[in-house]
Amino acid sequence: MKTERLIYLPLGGAGEIGMNCYVYGYGPADRERLIVVDLGVTFPDMDTTPGVDLIMADIAWLEARVDRIEAIFITHAHEDHIGALGHLWPKLRAPVYARRFTATIGRLKFEEHGHPRDAIKTVGARPETVEAGPFRVQFVPVSHSVPESSALVIDTPAGRIVHSGDFKLDPAPIVGEPWDPDAFAAIAAERPVKALMCDSTNVFSLHPGRSESTLGGPLRELIGNARGMVVATTFASNVARLKTLAEAARASDRSICLLGRAMRRMVSAALESGVLTDFPPTISPEQAQEIPRGNLMLLVTGSQGERRAAAAQLSRGKYLGMEVKEGDLFLFSSKTIPGNEREVGKIMNALSEKGVRLQDDAGGLYHVSGHANRPDLVTVHTTLKPKILIPMHGEHRHLREHAEIGAASGIVSGIVTNGTMVDLTGDAIKLAEHIEAGRTYLDGSVLIGAYDGVVRDRIRMALNGHVMVTLLMDEADEPLGDAWVEVMGLPKRGRSGAELAEQLEAELADFLDRSGAKIMRDDDKLEEGLRRAVRQVAVEEIGKKPEVTVVISRLQDE
C-alpha cells in the first residue's frame, strides 16, 4: 500500500497579492518532509493595521514541524517574496537557497538581523539541482521586474511540479535572462508536469504583455526633451528600468544621482552580484548640487507614495540638499498599486504646486508590468501541459479567473487559498486539511498575532476616541472625591456647549450617588456602571460611543 503523499499548502499569497509563502511536503501523512518557497511580507494600512510595520504569514504550523523542514527556497528578491526572511528565519533555521542576486539581498537582511550569512546558499540556474530530502529543486530563469527571478522545478517521487514564481514573457528584459520558451518546453519534455502553481497577478489584462525593451525609445525622447532637472521614480529593485532610465539620461548628457537607501542598495547589489555590468557612473547629492539642472537626473525611491521615501521628501521640500523647482520634470516610471492612489496623488499635487511637470506611465509608454498577462498565461499552460493547475499570487478573484482559464483548456484546475492543504498524489486536487492561516505583524520590534486584539483596540480608539475614568475608593468602599475623567481624541465640547469632560464627571458623580454598597464593593459592577454612564452621556453630547478605560484605586489593603 502506498502511504506517501505529496501535499501543497499555501500560508500566504493565495487569496492576496503579497506575503508569499508556500509549503510543499512529501512522505507519509503527517510525517511529510517539507520545503518552504518564499517568505514575503505585505504592507500595513491605516484601515486595517494602523501602527503596524510589516505583515507576514503566520508560520505557527511550520514552527510546530520545524524538524521536518528540509530547506527554504526564495524565487526572487521582491519584498513580497523575501521580506520576512530576516524576521522569521530564526523560527525555522533551515538552509536557504537562492540565485546570486537574491542571495546577495538575503544576506544583507541577515547581516542586519545578526543571522549567519552562510545559512543562505547561492544556487546556479538549472540544471544545477538542490537535493532537499525527497525533493530535487532547480531554479529556472524567468523574466520579471527584478534580476534573476526564477521559477522552480520541484521534482518529487510523486511527479514534477513547476512553481512559476513571478514572471512575464519578455524576450528582451534589458537586465537578466529573457523568457526562454524552449527551456520551458524542455522541462515538460524531460518529465511530464504534474502540477503548475502559477502567478495570477495580471490575469485580467487581456493583451499580451510588453517587453521592458520597448521603453527605451520613449524614455530617451521624454528625457531628451526635458529642460530642467529630471527626477524619475520606480521600484528600486527594477534594475532593468534603472538602467534604461540611466542610459536615457546619459544620452542627453545628464549625470545620474541615486536618492534613497533602497536605490543605492539595489544598484550596488546588482553590480556586486554581476547582474548589472555597465551602469553609468553616478554622482553624490553633494556633487549633484554643482551641476546645472539641465544636466542632471535623479533616480529616487518612493514610486508608491511612501511618506519617508525620497519622492515624498522632494515633494515637501529639500532632501539631501536637492530641491525640485518650476520647470523640472518628475516621471513616475511605475504603476500605482491599488490602495496607494491617495499617497501618490498627494505627492503629485505637492509637485504640481511647485510648478513641476508631471509625467505618469502614460498608459504604458514609460512603464510595463513585470507579470504575465492572460494570453501569456495561456502560452505557459500550453507549453508546460500540466495535469493540474493551481493559481497563486492573486486575490480570490484572480485565482478564480485563472482557474477558469485552465479548466477551459481541459486542465484540472482548482482554487487553493491560504491555509488549505491539498493532496496532489493522485490526478486530482484532493482536500487534505484546513490550517489556521493567520497573519503575523511586526509591530515596532515585536511580532504579534493578527488576532491578539492589539490592532483592534487601536482601530477602536481611532474611530471612537478614548475616555479614561479614575476613581479612588476609601477603606469603607466609599468614593474618595469624584471620579476623574480624561478625554483623548474627542471633541472638547458637545451639544450642550459645556465641556465634555465636565459633563461626564457630573454624570459619574450622579451615578456614584445613586449606587449602593453592593456596586461600590464590586470592581466589575462599578466599572461597568461607570463605563455605561460615560457612553450614555457621550452619545447624547457628541453622538459617539467612546472606548472607556476605568481605573479604580482602593485605599485599603484587602
Q: Which residues bind a second copy (CB under 8 A)?
A: 15, 45-47, 50-51, 338-339, 341-342, 345, 348-353, 358, 395-397, 399-400, 443-446, 448, 452, 454-455, 457-459, 461-466, 468, 470, 472, 480-481, 484, 486, 488-495, 541-544, 547, 549, 551, 553, 555
Locate 86 and state its grid cell.
530576516
> For residues 118 and 326, which CB has a smaller minimum distance to a second copy in the complex?
326
Report, in Å, the least distance between residue 409 CB and a second copy. Answer: 19
Report, in Å, the least distance between residue 358 CB and a second copy. Answer: 6
Report, in Å, the least distance between residue 227 CB and a second copy. Answer: 16
Report, in Å, the least distance between residue 86 CB and a second copy. Answer: 15
Report, in Å, the least distance between residue 207 CB and a second copy. Answer: 11
Locate 358 and state its grid cell.
508631471
Note whether 7 and 32 are within 8 A (CB): yes
> For residues 414 and 465, which CB has a smaller minimum distance to a second copy in the complex?
465
Smallest Cα–Cα separation from 428: which of 484, 390, 476? 390
> For residues 25 and 394, which CB has a smaller minimum distance to a second copy in the complex?
394
Report, in Å, the least distance between residue 189 CB and a second copy. Answer: 35
Write the DSSP symbol of residue 77: S
> For residues 59 and 473, which CB has a smaller minimum distance to a second copy in the complex?
473
Cα–Cα distance, 342 to 332 (Å, whole number) = 15
Q: Which residues pair with 122 in a beta bridge?
A: 98
Please give the single-letter amino acid code of residue 151: A
Note whether 457 and 547 are within 8 A (CB): yes
Report, in Å, the least distance between residue 244 CB and a second copy. Answer: 25
Note whether 368 and 207 are within 8 A (CB): no
Cα–Cα distance, 391 to 415 (Å, whole number) = 7
Burial class (CB in 10 A: 0-12, 13-18, 19+), 509: middle
> For residues 5 and 402, which CB has a smaller minimum distance to a second copy in the complex?
402
> For residues 267 and 542, which CB has a smaller minimum distance to a second copy in the complex?
542
- 165-182 CB burial, b ≥16 within 10 A, e <16: bbbbbbeebbbbbbbeee
Query: DSSP of 305-349, one letter per residue?
Result: --TTSHHHHHHHS-BTTB---TT-EEEE-S-PPTT-HHHHHHHHH
> For residues 286 and 452, which CB has a smaller minimum distance to a second copy in the complex?
452
> For residues 191 and 495, which CB has a smaller minimum distance to a second copy in the complex?
495
Report, in Å, the least distance between residue 109 CB and a second copy. Answer: 17
Contacts 24+ apart (CB under 8 A), 136-140: 137/35, 137/71, 137/73, 137/97, 139/73, 139/75, 139/97, 139/98, 139/99, 140/183, 140/184, 140/187
